Copies of this chain bind each other. A is one copy, B any other.
Amino acid sequence: MSAIDAVGGIAAVLTTLSFLPQAARTIRTGDTNAISLAMYAMFTAGVAFWLVYGVLLSSAPIIIANSVTILMAGLILTLKTRAVLRARRSRER
């Protein structure tokens, strides 16, 4: 593995695993107030495109990294969407 590959590998590990503590915090606290729905909607869609890109290129690192990330980001998006819908329903009452 070249030094360039190592830098890319460290980058991929850090940006992929960074969503773990956010998902853990969101599950633990149930608090999504400061989280942007637009961010997670766009980000999850983007990661889905990265996943398709990885499949088209048959790139295992791209497929693996984005499979992990889409689970975390999709989970945070689901929790945020539920909170938004819950808040909307309680306003309508």
Contact = CB atoms under 8 A, between A and B. Distances in A.
Interface residues of A, number: 42
Interface of A: 3-4, 7-8, 10-22, 24-26, 29, 31-36, 38-43, 45-47, 49-50, 52-53, 56-57
Looking at chain A's contact residues, the main secondary structure is: helix
A26 B42 CA distance: 17
Given A4-B56, A8-B53, A53-B8, A43 B14 contact: yes
B25 A46 contact: no
Contacts of A35: 22, 34-35
A49 B11 contact: yes
A46 B34 contact: no
